[in-house]
Structure 1
Amino acid sequence: MKRFQLKFAFVLIAVFLLSGCWDRYELEERANILALSIDIAEEGEDIEMPEVTHSKGEFPAEEKIIYKVAAQLAVPGKIMLGPGGGDTNSAETDWLLVTYGYSMKDVLSNLQQELAEKIYLGHIQLIVVSDKIAKKGLEDIMDFLKRDYEVRRTAWIMITEGEAQEILNATPPVQTVPSLYLSGTLKDAVMFGKLPKEYLGKVWIDFSDVGVDAIIPLVKPMGDHILVDGLVYFKDYQMVGTLTPTETGAILAMQGINPAGYSNVIVPGDKKGVYLVKPFKRISKISVEIQDGKPKVLIDVKIEGFVEEQLYTNDLSKEKLQELEKSASELGEKALSSLMKRLQQDESDILGIGARVRAFYPKYWNENVKTEDDWREIYKDLDIQIKMDYKILRVGMEWK
C-alpha cells in the first residue's frame, strides 16, 4: 500500500512539473508586432477609443496624455527571411495599425479589440519614440516594456524629432520589411563605429544604475530611408539634449569603443592644407581620485589613425605629420572638454563617472553623496581634465 502511495505521489508531482505548453499559441493565432512608434496625439485628431480598460472619461489621471501608437504587424507567410523576395513590397509584408490610449497597456488593450489574433511582442525589432514624449520622460513607457516578459532585451529603442510614425514608413527599394531595415541600420551603425551598442536592455540598465545616465540613438526620417543623426542624452528618464554625429564620435572616443567610425577635418599649425584623418583604434582610461575631499577626474584618450584625404596641398612629410598629430590632439582635447562641460551643465552623467566614484570610493559616497540628486550637484562642478594623444600611423600610397 505504501509502495502504491509513493508511486501515486510521484505521478502526481510529475503531472504538475511536466504540465506541457499550457500557454502555447500557434503562429497563425498570433499578431506578431515588429515595431511600435509612440507619439502624443495632437489636438483636433479624430481620436476614437473603445471602453476596454475603463469607461469613457473615467481614466484616473491628473494629466491625461493621449498616446498615439502605430503598430507594425507582420503578415504571415509574406516575409522572406532568405535570399530572393521577387516583387514583394512592404505593403504586402506588413500591416500598420494606429491606436490611441492613456498608457501603453491601455493602447495595446484597445489594439487587441481590433485583432482576432493575440498580440505578441516577442518578435519586436524596435520602438520609436517622439522627442516630445522623451522630453516629458520615458519612465512610464519603460515601466511597461520591462514588465512585459515577451519584449526582447535586444530590441532597439530610438528617438526622433517630429512624428515617430514617419520612421515606420521608411522603406528603401532594397528592403521589403521596414522594421528589419530600421533595426539593421542601427546594427550596421554599431558595426561601423557610428553608434554605441545601446540595445533596449542596456538602456534599462543605464536608467536603473545609480551614477549613470542613458543615451539613445537619434534618427531622422528621409523619405524612404532614415538618417542616423547622433544620440539623445538623458537626466534620469528625461531627455535633456542631443549629440551630433561628430559629438557621438567624441563620446565613443572617451568610452574607448572600437571600431572608430568618424573622420575628422584637421588643419595643421601652419594653416597650409586641409586633411581628413580617420581613427582606427581608440584607447581610453577614466581615472577618479579623491583630492581635498572632492573627486577629480582624468580622461586619458589615445587614438591611432590614418590620413584619408589631403586638400589644397601635397605635403605628407614627417614634419607635416607631426603638425597634424599636434593639431588633432589639441582639437580633440578642446572639443571633448567643451562637450563634457555641456553634459555637466545638463547634469547628464552618460560616462558613468558617478558609478565609478560609488564603486571605488564607497566611504566617500556614503558620507558625502548618498543619493543620485546629491551626485548631480557635485557632478556639475566636478574637475574633469581631458588629455588626448593622437598618432597618425598610415598615410596611404603617397609620401612626399
Structure 2
Amino acid sequence: MKNFCSILLCLCLPFFLSGCWDAVELQQRAIVLMIGIDRIQHDSRGIRVSLQLARPQNLSTPPHPSSESGEKNTVVVSQNGIDVNDAIRKIQLATDRRLFFEHARALVINEEVAKHGTLPIIDSMVQARTAPRDAWLFVSSIPAREVLQYKPALDAIPSTYFTNFFGNRLLLKRSYDATLGGFHQRLVTPGIQPFAIWIGAGAKELSAPELRGIAAFSGDHFVGGFNQEQALGWQLLVNQFPKSPLTFTCPDRSDGKFVVNVRSVHSTTRVNCAKGSAPVAVISVRINGWVGNGTCLKQANQTDLKLYKQQVEKQTVTVLNTTIRYSKILNADILGIGQSVYRYEPRSWYGDTEWNKGFHQVVPQIHVDAQLEFLQTYKKLGST
C-alpha cells in the first residue's frame, strides 16, 4: 500500500509543476538592441520610432575588420505613430517575429523631441517594460535613427560597442543615474533635476557618436547641454568623479601642464536660507591625489608641492563656478542644490516649483582642499 501511494504521488506531481507554456523560440523573436525616438517633420504631434534589431544568424560568426560588420549583424526599422506604443505596434505588425526588448541597451532621444518633454516616452517604457530600467539614456543633436545606423568595426553588436565606449569615456561612479531608471528616479526626487548623456555626430574613424557632455533637464524638458569642462565641474560637485587623472596649468608658466592622479573626491553642499536674502550654497570639495608628471615638474619639495596645491584649488574653483553659473542660466538644478535645502532646511522648502523660480538667485561659496603628494622623487635638472 505504501509503494502504491508513492507511485500515485509521483504520477500526480507533474500536473502541479509549471511549464514553459508562454515560451517563444529564438528564431521567432526580433531582438531589440537600441531604440531611437525622432520627431516627424511637419508634424508636431507625431514621433518616429526606430528599432535596431539583431540578426541572430550572423552573430555567431566573428566580425570582419571593416565598417560593414554592423550592417550584416543588425538592421534598423522605423515607423511613425502618435506615441511610442502606436509606432512600436506598427513595427510589430510589419515583421514576422515578436519584438523582444529585454536586451535593449540604450534609448536615444533627439533633442527636438526632448525639448517638448520626455515623460510620456520614458514613463510608458518603464511602466510597460518596453525597455529595461538599466538601459542608457542618450539625448542626440543628430537624428536618433542615424545613431542607430552607426556600424562599428570592433564589435559585432553596435549597442554593446556604444555602451562600452561611453562607459569608458564617462567614468561615472554611479552609472545608474544615466539610465532610464535613474532618470525616472531623479525626476520624482525633490530638489534635483534629471540628466542624460549628450551626444552628437562623431568622426567616421571612431565608428561612434561624439560624446558632447551632459544633457540637462528642467523637469522632463531638455534645456541645454554641459560641455566637457562644465561636465567635469558637475562630476566634482555631485561626487560622480572616480579615480582618474586631471590636467592643470603650471603655476609658474601658462604654457606648461602637470597631471594629478585623483584617488578620491568628496563634496558636500549646505544651503543657508535667510529671510529676505538670496540662498547661499556653501560647497566644500576635497580632492585626494598625487602629482604624477608634467612639463613643470623638476624637483619634489614642499615648496613646489604647496604651489601645485594652490594651483589645483584655484583652477578647480574656477571650473566649479563656471558649472554653477551655466546651470543657473539653464535653470536646471542637476547639481542637487535644492535637494540640500529639502534635506537640511525643510522649513525653507516650498516645493520644486518655488525652488525653480529662485534657483538662479543662489550665491555659491566654494571651498576646495587639495591634498596632494608626489608620485615619485624628482631631482633637479643636471643633478646626479
| TM-score, normalised with respect to structure 2 | 0.84
Equivalent of residue 295 in structure 2, options 286, 308, 311:
311
1:142 aligns with 2:122: yes
Structure 1 pair 281–170 and aligned structure 2 pair: CA distance change class (3 A): same
- In the TM superposition, what whole-angstrom CA distance separates every residue of 1:27-47 from its partner, at most 9, and x where no partner exists? 22221111012222335xxxx
Q: Distance in 2 between matches of 1:203 and 1:192?
A: 15
Which residue matches 2:333?
Answer: 349
Question: What does 1:109-124 correspond to in 2, within 5 Å?
Answer: 109-124=89-104
Q: Per-residue deviation at 1:310?
A: 2.4
Q: Which runs of 5+ in 2 are unaligned?
A: 1-14
Aligned counterpart for 2:253 among listed residues 268, 271, 289: 271
How do residues 8-87 of structure 1 correspond to structure 2 at under 5 angstroms?
21-43=20-42, 64-80=44-60, 85=62, 87=64
Report if aligned partners of 1:347, 1:376 keep a CA contact under 8 Å in 2. Answer: yes
Following TM superposition, by how much is the alpha carbon of 1:346 offset from its aligned partner in structure 2, in angstroms? Answer: 2.0
Which one-letter code corresponds to 2:227 in the other structure? T
Q: State the SS of the aligned residue for 1:201.
A: helix
Deviations 1:305-339 (A, max 9, x none): 33344237745543233222112211211221232
For 1:380 and 1:86, how far apart are their aligned partners in 2?
51
Contact in 2 for aligned 1:259/1:280 (Cα 8 Å): yes
Shift of 1:182: 0.9
Query: Match for residue 60 of structure 1?
Result: none
1:35 counterpart letter in structure 2 = M
Is 1:259 matched up with 2:242? yes
Offset, 1:397: 5.7
Give the whole-Å Cα distance in 2 for the aligned partners of 1:127 and 1:356: 30
Say yes or no: does 1:327 pair with 2:311: yes
Q: Which runs of 5+ in 1 are unaligned?
A: 1-14, 44-62
Partner of 1:96: 76
- 1:228 and 1:283, CA in 2 relative to 1: closer, same or farther beyond 3 A? same
Percent identity between matched residues is 21
Q: Deviations over 1:28-86 (max 9, x none)?
A: 2221111012222335xxxxxxxxxxxxxxxxxxx743322221111124325xxx725
Q: 1:235 matched to which residue of 2?
A: 218
- Map Cα deviations across residues 170-192 of structure 1 (whole Å, 9 max, x no partner): 23321111111111122323547
1:227 deviates by 2.6
Query: Equivalent residue for 1:284?
Result: 267
Deviations 1:334-380 (A, max 9, x none): 22123212212322111222223223333332xxx1x3111112222
Cα distance in structure 1, aligned partners of 2:276 and 2:104: 48
Q: CA RMSD in A?
A: 2.8
Counterpart among 317, 321, 336 of residue 337 in structure 1: 321
Q: Which moved more, 1:239-248 or 1:290-299?
A: 290-299
Q: 1:327 to 1:257 in 2, by over 3 A?
A: same
Is contact 1:31–1:119 with CA below 8 Å preserved after alignment?
yes
Distance 1:345 1:91 in 2: 42
Alignment partner of 2:192: what SS? coil
Cα pair distance change 1:176/1:363, threshold 3 Å? same
2:81 maps to a residue whose letter is G
Cα separation, 2, equivalents of 1:341 and 1:192: 22
Q: How many Å separate the matches in 1 of 2:62 and 2:77?
A: 24
**By how many angstroms is 1:123 displaced?**
1.2
Amino acid at match of 2:62: G
Cα offsets for 1:281-308 (capped at 9, x unmatched): 2111122344447643211001123334
Question: CA, structure 1 residues 29+308, in 2 after alignment: closer, same or farther (shift >3 Å)?
Answer: same
Taking structure 1 as the reference length, the TM-score comes to: 0.81
> Are the structure 2 counterparts of residues 182 and 318 from structure 1 closer, same or farther at C-alpha, using a change threshold of 3 Å?
same
